[in-house]
Chains A and B, each alone.
Chain A
Amino acid sequence: MSAPWWAALCPAESRISCGTGKHLIRWADGQLTAADHADAEGELVLAALGGDKSECVTLVEAWGAHTEDLDVLALGPRSPLDQLAVTWDLVRSLRSAISPQPGIRPGQAQRHGRLPTGRLRPRSMPMRQASPELRRAQARRAELIGLFALGRDFQLALSGTVAAAWSAGPAPGRDLAAARPALTGALAGRLAPAAADWLGIDPEAVRASLHEGPGWGTVELAGGTLRAALPVHWLAAVWAARFPVVGGHLVVDVLAAGWPQAQVRALARPGAVPTVLSIRYDGEHWSVAETD
């Protein structure tokens, strides 16, 4: 049995403001957990019944709502140099801007002489009444940006989660045919900088397509153009694990893994037969431990 897609991904932790304290959010083994909430599921049930919902539990719930969301791949990072400039301050400002506050106009204080919680609505925010559908979409987008604010490790883990879901085959609510252009874009946007780095070519010379048959795909170089067909699973198991290129090889598949090491199938050059490599994370980057 092959390794789960997340087996080579670095576990991630982040502390967030929750209630009056700073609580730990952890992603490991493919799951996001609120480490300081012993009964997060119970809290969710209580919240559904009208109780308060903590920030930690809100995030865990949001993570679950975006595990198949292609927006994650459309907005998320593409390469190590591609950084999202999302902070918790920006997220709080954003939530304040889109939260409906009936009867309150910008700059107008609430009753009892208190300012509304959070920041005032930015001037650029259109005051036209948004439809319920639009408000839901905006809230969902703000929720996703909140997940991105957890940091890069979480961004990669969430991207991998989405890619893994879409590579798992047909499922209710997943129209692979309709999603193929978005998935192709997601693959190309992440493969191009990695492959360019691998071969020292322009990222624009990389042509990526989805490989949907058996096997790991193909990678060929012709006329200065690299044509690569890789499965969506590559995004989850290889790219999200941060080792698309290791030791001068393009990693195309993961055979076995257990953080911080993995056995992978990799290409020394385009068109070559894949080599099996053992790779290891040394605290800064992945490197080849041995070649089979």
Chain B
Amino acid sequence: MAAGGTEQAETYLRLLAEAELRRAPVFPGPGSQPHRVALAATALASADAIGLDTAWRVVADFQAACALRAGDPLPAVLSLRSPGWQTRPPAGLGLPGQLAAVRRSVATFLASSQRPEASPPPAAPAAVPIGATLPLPAEREGWYGELQLLALARTDTEAAITVATRWAGQTRRSATPRPRHAPFHEVAAVDDRGVSYWAALWDMGIEDGREWWDGHLGLTPAPPDDIRWLDIGPGARGRYVRVVLATPDGSAGLATQPIPPVAAAVRLLDRAGDELLAAGPASRAAGRSLAARVALLISDLTRGGVLAADDPAVARLLGLGWRLGVDLGLAADGRIPRAALPAAWHSMLADGNATDGPEGAAAFAASLPEIGGAWFSLAGLRSARDGATLHVMASGWTPHGNGWVVYGLGPHSDPGQLALTWRARDSAGRWHLVNGMHWGSQQGMIQLRLVPPLHPAAVSLEVMVSDGTRQVSATVPLDWLPPGSTR
């Protein structure tokens, strides 16, 4: 709830809409550059300063007013279609999950013309580590690759094996350069009963000649619970890798703890700080620099009466901006005491530009307890000198809209980030934030890009997810799987 009350916040939003209508009666429309009123409405709704219906109403009024001035009355009528959250709360979710879902929905509505689709009640995923390398047969010009199989993650209906793949060598002398695309060799899975599963590579990224590609093998259909193992292959010389499904998933490192309650607006600003550190102030968000977007967020929350200009959360962000040399549009001095900034931010400020990450893949699996109405299984990681890619299977967390739509603050199109905060800390004490989140398949697989890189001496990683009321975490081992080896 806004400190100044919902009336003050709505009044601010409506006055902003009036100013925008005076300034630019033709709005650019939803998409990657949401208009100013939508951004403010998103901020105020996400901060619980105004109801979602009010946010929707003001945005719809503004868009309708613009449409009437542009001689196109149809949008003035179509904007009356209310977002899906009003009629379809997700089934089976507790209050935090419902809040998360409606926040996702309002972000989807405000930033996109698409409606969120109904999703079935989520089922908790499970994961098992694999940690094996499948050599692949030679392809073009004798180049052959290898597939590092990290972990199997699955629910009742979906299953995926996370992988890292690269070109490992060439069978004959040739002047041809290494292919710029990822190795592609069709494999399948066969279980202990002789049942076959199609294994399709997903999320391999673009053809850019990189050293490693991260992705997953989506298994169709999902294997049943009661099988004992799966053979994945064939690779080079008809070789298979066996995945034993009874392998423990490392759940010993799980923890759930309450966290001191803070206002949603405070979480928003703290997350903005995370994003400034993870993505950099010059990165793009909602059609502008991230620093400019954060400045708007601060402006909306303070002028909307949600937070006082001298609120500690504002001061923290101001202090961070001062340390980063970024103008966040505040008149106050950002030289605040060091202790006012969280440890994660100090770590990021100290090591944000590090390029000393170990190169390798770690095959681990851990299923986090339910958080924000969603379940996540950690399913392996690949570390590089400049960062790490963490594989996650999500259930009850459905990405909405198109990947190019920019929600919230960051450069990544993750509406879920409005509800959940991801952080990690390695055993050497280095903190890591998410600077990119990617998904692209029906299996619910997500790739989280962690920065800065893991500390060279780190032997484990604690992954933390919080929803504002609780934090769940799992500590996973970083046993590096060398290329070409089998565990």
A interface, by DSSP: helix, strand, loop or mixed?
helix
Pair A141/B77 contact, Cβ less than 8 Å: yes
Q: Which of B18, B61, B82, B87 contacts A192 (CB 8 A)?
A: B18
Pair A86/B73 contact, Cβ less than 8 Å: yes
Please report the C-alpha to C-alpha distance between residue A177 and residue B11 in the assembled complex, in whole angstroms.
12
Pair A122/B19 contact, Cβ less than 8 Å: no
Q: Which of B13, B70, B80 contacts A85 (CB 8 A)?
A: B70
Pair A97/B64 contact, Cβ less than 8 Å: no
Pair A74/B64 contact, Cβ less than 8 Å: yes
Cβ contacts under 8 Å, B19 to chain A: 203-204
For window 68-89 of chain A, which residues contact chain B by CB distance below 8 Å?
71, 74-75, 78, 82-87
Cβ contacts under 8 Å, A177 to chain B: 7
Q: Which of A75, A90, A145, A181 contacts B11 (CB 8 A)?
A: A181
Cβ-based interface call for A182 (8 A): yes
Cβ-based interface call for B458 (8 A): no
The stretch that binds B, out of A39-47, A103-111, A183-191, is A183-191
Cβ-based interface call for B260 (8 A): no
Please report the C-alpha to C-alpha distance between residue A177 and residue B21 in the assembled complex, in whole angstroms.
24
Cβ contacts under 8 Å, B76 to chain A: 75, 141, 145
Cβ contacts under 8 Å, B78 to chain A: 125-126, 138
Pair A94/B74 contact, Cβ less than 8 Å: yes
Please report the C-alpha to C-alpha distance between residue A93 and residue B82 in the assembled complex, in whole angstroms.
22
Cβ-based interface call for A137 (8 A): yes
Assuming the A-B contacts A75-B68, A78-B22, are A138 and B7 also in contact, with contact meaning beta carbons closer than 8 angstroms in the complex?
A: no
For window 1-40 of chain B, which residues contact chain A by CB distance below 8 Å?
7, 10-11, 13-15, 17-19, 21-22, 25
B17 shortest CB reach to chain A, Å: 7
Pair B64/A75 contact, Cβ less than 8 Å: yes
For window 153-196 of chain A, which residues contact chain B by CB distance below 8 Å?
177, 180-182, 184-185, 188-189, 192-193
Highest count of chain A CB atoms <10 Å: which of B74, B77, B82, B87 = B77
Cβ contacts under 8 Å, A180 to chain B: 7, 11
Cβ-based interface call for B193 (8 A): no
Cβ contacts under 8 Å, A117 to chain B: none
Q: Which of A74, A91, A94 contacts B65 (CB 8 A)?
A: A74
Please report the C-alpha to C-alpha distance between residue A28 and residue B410 in the assembled complex, in whole angstroms.
55
Residue-wise interface mask of B (54-91) relative to A, using a CB-CB cutoff of 8 A (1 in contact, 0 not)? 00000001001100111111101110111000010000
The 8 closest A-B pairs by CB, nearest first: A185-B14, A85-B71, A189-B18, A181-B10, A181-B11, A74-B61, A137-B80, A141-B77
What are 6 of the A-B contact pairs (CB < 8 Å)?
A: A78-B22, A90-B73, A98-B77, A131-B87, A141-B80, A145-B73
